[in-house]
């Protein structure tokens, strides 16, 4: 009798008096690790800032970047007046104007819009190609050898000469079909994307090779799951982390490549501003007007640096081996 009456009380004493805590979110752990990386916070913040600036800038600063105004040419930035009282400055040209009177602030905004658009589009194209090649090579053993040898072949090619030859060969047909700006945009995005997917393919292939021998993949095969469903439902969600890191690096590479092509004069038309084109136009008079080289150079450098920091932060945050430290 005593044992029967004390049984429920003893059992209740063993129960937890506090309500069970909700399981910790994996993405909250990722965010906690990411915000510890000060460089990644700076990189992500600057990337968001520069993207919003080039998108909303034309609505806030309604000046045509290609408008020629000879009477207001060779203005210096406003801040130059702090140490040079005789400098030609004006609030209507806060960052100055070039030798044709075109507003530099408007050119920086328009150039950033073109450079960022090329960067994002080329990054997406490279990710699609690299992920597809990496998944096929990692999962299907018969395709692995040929796809990886093709990847090694593309990696061994000199990229810059190929870019120059491709632009020279396909510029006129694309310009006739889509116009000067549209044709060059398609050409540059295609060329940059088709020459920058190889690292993504290698990274994805390595992860797929490790994942396809795991127990949950073997279990899915044993119940007759098709390869397409295994790839879509089990493999791709587990390689999102390296793909995201590769995306940030691909964005930086695409921006630099587009700037290099524009600097060499084989990018967009001469009257279409990009950051690389602004650098090329300013080189001849850089001793007289150094800000014309410094401003686009700083924007290119900070954007690429911010993207690289963002990639480092994402890599650390998404790696479970580092996240717990």
| Paired tokens of 220 | 């899915």
Instruction: Tell me how far apart the alpha carbons of residues 212 and 140 are, in angstroms, rounded to a whole number.
Output: 10
Q: Residue 127: which CATH number?
A: 1.10.3720.10
Q: How many CB atoms lie within 10 A of CB 117?
A: 17
Question: How many domains does the chain contain in total?
Answer: 1
Would 50 be classed as within a structural domain?
Answer: yes
Instruction: Tell me how far apart the alpha carbons of residues 289 and 281 are, in angstroms, rounded to a whole number.
Output: 11
**Helix pair angle (240-264, 275-282), 10° resolution:** 30
For the purposes of burial, counting CB atoms within 10 Å of the CB of 295, is it exposed (0-12), middle (13-18) or buried (19 or more)?
buried
Would 5 be classed as within a structural domain?
Answer: no
Would 12 be classed as within a structural domain?
Answer: no
Would 170 be classed as within a structural domain?
Answer: yes
Instruction: Compute the average pLDDT of residues 168-193.
Output: 85
Integer-rounded Cα radius of gyration of the chain: 27
Would 29 be classed as within a structural domain?
Answer: no
- Note the pTM of the prediction, 2 decimals: 0.81
Would 88 be classed as within a structural domain?
Answer: no
Would 55 be classed as within a structural domain?
Answer: yes
| pLDDT tens-digit series, residues 205-261 | 988 988 888 888 888 888 888 888 888 888 888 888 888 888 888 888 888 888 888
Supply the DSSP symbol for 268. S
Distance of CA 130 to CAs 148, 187, 194, 240, 323, Å? 11, 19, 9, 13, 26
Would 251 be classed as within a structural domain?
Answer: yes
Instruction: Tell me how far apart the alpha carbons of residues 312 and 246 are, in angstroms, rounded to a whole number.
Output: 10
pLDDT band for position 1 (50/70/90)?
Answer: very low
What average pLDDT does the structure give for the chain? Answer: 83
| pLDDT tens-digit series, residues 132-165 | 999 999 988 888 899 999 999 988 888 778 888 8
**What is residue 247's predicted lDDT score, i.e. its pLDDT?**
85
Distance of CA 105 to CAs 46, 78, 297, Å? 18, 12, 14
Q: Which domain holds residue 301?
A: 37-67+102-323
């Amino acid at each position: 009798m005593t044992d029967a009456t004390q049984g429920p009380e003893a059992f209740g004493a063993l129960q937890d008096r506090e309500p069970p805590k909700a399981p910790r979110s994996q993405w909250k752990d990722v965010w906690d690790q990411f915000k510890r990386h000060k460089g990644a916070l700076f990189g992500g913040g600057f990337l968001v800032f520069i993207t919003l600036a080039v998108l909303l800038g034309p609505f806030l600063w309604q000046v045509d970047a290609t408008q020629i105004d000879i009477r207001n040419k060779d203005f210096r930035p406003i801040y130059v007046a702090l140490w040079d009282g005789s400098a030609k400055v004006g609030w209507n040209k806060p960052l100055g104007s070039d030798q044709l009177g075109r507003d530099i602030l408007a050119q920086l905004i328009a150039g950033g819009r073109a450079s960022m658009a090329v960067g994002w589009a080329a990054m997406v194209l490279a990710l699609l190609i690299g992920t597809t090649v990496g998944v096929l090579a990692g999962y299907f053993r018969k395709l692995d050898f040929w796809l990886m040898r093709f990847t090694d072949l593309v990696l061994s090619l000199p990229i810059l000469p190929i870019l120059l030859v491709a632009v020279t060969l396909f510029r006129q047909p694309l310009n006739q079909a889509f116009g000067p700006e549209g044709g060059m945009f398609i050409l540059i995005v295609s060329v940059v994307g088709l020459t920058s997917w190889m690292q993504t393919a290698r990274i994805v292939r390595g992860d797929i090779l490790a994942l396809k021998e795991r127990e949950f993949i073997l279990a899915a095969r044993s119940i007759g799951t098709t390869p397409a469903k295994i790839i879509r439902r089990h493999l791709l969600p587990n390689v999102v982390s390296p793909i995201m890191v590769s995306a940030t690096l691909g964005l930086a590479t695409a921006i630099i490549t587009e700037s290099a092509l524009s600097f060499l004069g084989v990018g967009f038309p001469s009257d279409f501003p990009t950051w690389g084109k602004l650098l090329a136009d300013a080189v001849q008079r850089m001793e007289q007007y150094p800000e014309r080289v410094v401003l686009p150079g700083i924007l290119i450098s900070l954007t690429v640096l911010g993207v690289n920091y963002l990639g480092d932060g994402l890599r650390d945050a998404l790696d479970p081996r580092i996240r717990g430290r």
